[in-house]
Chain A
């Protein structure tokens, strides 16, 4: 995979030594380039990214093509799918396809946004503790570990039951109950990075601690953060749907979990209204599968031992290569 075979001019070597690390934006670009390369190398990641991209596009632009208001009732009750109503209607005559498309917007964007916020919180909690050490770290580690052992879904249900219904409540509740896992991973990574030379150099150079954490150490952990974001988002989407399915969401905003809740309340199952409860669940499952495909690919990149072996290698030669 080495491409740098072009002989460099001799004068370039000392210059490269003098400048040290390339500036931050160059390093970040390199990381992005690595991610892009990874996306295109592994078919799993490519398929996963395509699925997630599709849902984002539907969420962004889908509602503009909808001619039927998702909350509008009509006298056409419980109609099976037809040309006019692609996924049929509910017991009060709402168009399910329209609900699904508007629901995609709610579920995908609140899901991704919440996943992002969970990641941000865990970055702060994990990296600050890992960098400072001492009592700050002890305190944050204790908080993280306690939060890890408390069961997330039951706690989320209790919290969501007391606070006003709506996406904001669900989002906050999920952030509050799910940040710890990633914080722990980032803490241990920061712990091992903080004694590296570039960090010492920055500290000796008189840089502010927060600047060191977020501008010197953080770019080195982007891979971990991305992997954590993806797996967190899978969990967020599932938990979100679960809370709404329980009736803890805002019933007037269409969303995947909300559609399932109304279907369950109206007894769609006993009535055989498959077009009501199958599509939203399928959307959740497909989005989740797309995200976990991406994650699978990231795992393979991070741990070369999980990579698929090429069949060209013989069974015995593989050991020799690894050794």
Chain B
């Protein structure tokens, strides 16, 4: 129980650091980003006094409040779910845009994470079992190479190959927005699947290697345990030893990794969404960076951070539950 309380306190501390960073980064930035942005936007001729006010408020310019008061007002705003207004879609609140987009991200990432987890673990298990054979010597370095490929470049290549050259998949978007209205119809769902397939595939390919290598290494360690030898001596079938004796114990690091991966769904696929113009959080972030929509950039960061922290907390608790040794551990 002591351990659990310590972890809870730690995560509260981490959330506080993230929020505080989010508050101070715009105020510490060198130069005057707000003025630069206002100048840039007024040359394009679409800045209104309200927008200017929003911007100044964000950078803490239009107020005589001392810094600590600004800070508490900012915390109060966050507690009320007020993340500020977007500049590029002024005056839509940022949170509204995020709510629209996050579903797409979660769907794409969720599918990709689950598939790559299962394929990766299975491959890692088999490769460790067949260690030293051709399968291992070919597959392990190949996976190594795949994990070193920048995943957004893999996305570019597959988009070029399958969408541009072969014309199998659409070039961009989350569904065919020209012809189909969103809804639970057959047309819409099949269009979504068609648009999601390629981004999900590139995510699976680039993240599979990590699962496989972890599983392989952990499985190799497990295979040299005495209880595996015992199982072999008892004459159990290969499959039974592989799944019920070795893999079951080797999968522990990957299970906590899985909980963390669930949290990185949104953050880990930012660039994939950008390449495929997929209507999720990542694409929104790209547009925000291009348009210098600071409120949007910061809110996306906060949302992603909260998701990651939540998942890490979950993984921590899961590990405590799965491995009793952790509960007794005293941090030195």
Contact = CB atoms under 8 A, between A and B. Distances in A.
Interface in B153-189: 153, 156-157, 159-160, 164-165, 171
Contacts of B331: 141
A148 B220 CA distance: 27
Contact of B309 (A142, A149, A247, A306): A149
Given A158-B297, A281-B157, A293-B141, A151 B224 contact: no
Given A162-B33, A247-B290, A289-B145, A142 B13 contact: yes
Contacts of A278: 157
A41 B86 CA distance: 58
A162 B13 contact: no
A154 B224 contact: no
Contacts of B264: 151
B267 A153 contact: yes
Interface stretch (B21-29, B247-255, B322-330): B21-29
Interface stretch (A90-98, A211-219, A237-245): A237-245
B148 A288 contact: yes
A68 interface: no
Interface in A259-295: 260, 264, 269-270, 272, 274, 277-278, 281, 284-285, 288-289, 291-293
A21 interface: no
Given A163-B30, A269-B159, A319-B229, A151 B304 contact: yes
B153 A281 contact: yes
A172 to B, nearest CB: 12
Contacts of A272: 160, 164-165
B256 interface: no
Interface string A114-147: 0000000000000000000000000001100110
B152 A242 contact: yes
Interface residues of B, number: 62
Contact of A155 (B14, B137, B285, B301): B301
A161 B289 contact: yes
B104 interface: no
A309 B157 CA distance: 37
B194 interface: no
A151 B18 CA distance: 10
Nearest to B163: A269
A162 B29 contact: yes
A285 B157 CA distance: 12
Contacts of A150: 14, 17-18, 21, 305, 308
A278 B68 CA distance: 50
Contacts of A146: 10, 13-14, 17
A305 B224 contact: yes
Given A151-B264, A269-B164, A285-B153, A292 B229 contact: no
A296 B144 contact: yes
A236 B160 CA distance: 26
Max chain B CB contacts within 10 Å: which of A309, A319, A322?
Answer: A319
Interface string B289-304: 1101010011011001
B156 A292 contact: no
A154 B304 contact: yes
A18 B22 CA distance: 59
Contacts of B240: none
Between A44, A159, A289, A299, the greatest number of chain B beta carbons within 10 A of the residue's beta carbon is seen for A289
A291 B10 CA distance: 34
Contacts of A44: 141
Contacts of A142: 10, 13
B105 interface: no
Contacts of A288: 148-150
A157 B147 contact: no
A164 interface: yes
B246 interface: no
Nearest to B223: A305
A158 B285 CA distance: 10
Among B160, B229, B285, the one with the most A-chain Cβ atoms within 10 Å of its Cβ is B160
Instruction: Give the 8 A-B CB pairs with smallest separation, nearest first.
Output: A288-B148, A281-B153, A162-B29, A285-B149, A289-B148, A289-B145, A151-B267, A158-B301
Given A246-B289, A270-B171, 13 more contacts: A142-B13, A146-B13, A150-B308, A153-B268, A162-B294, A247-B290, A269-B156, A269-B159, A278-B157, A281-B150, A285-B150, A289-B148, A292-B145
21 contacts: A145-B14, A146-B14, A149-B308, A155-B301, A157-B270, A161-B294, A162-B29, A191-B332, A234-B148, A238-B148, A245-B271, A246-B271, A274-B160, A277-B160, A278-B157, A281-B150, A284-B150, A289-B148, A305-B221, A305-B224, A306-B217
Interface of B: 10-11, 13-14, 17-18, 21-22, 25-26, 29-31, 33, 131-132, 137, 141, 144-145, 147-150, 152-153, 156-157, 159-160, 164-165, 171, 217, 220-221, 224, 229, 264, 267-268, 270-271, 274-275, 285-286, 289-290, 292, 294, 297-298, 300-301, 304-305, 308-309, 312, 331-332
Interface of A: 44, 141-142, 145-146, 149-151, 153-155, 157-159, 161-164, 191, 234, 238, 241-242, 245-248, 260, 264, 269-270, 272, 274, 277-278, 281, 284-285, 288-289, 291-293, 296, 299, 303, 305-306, 308-309, 311, 319, 322
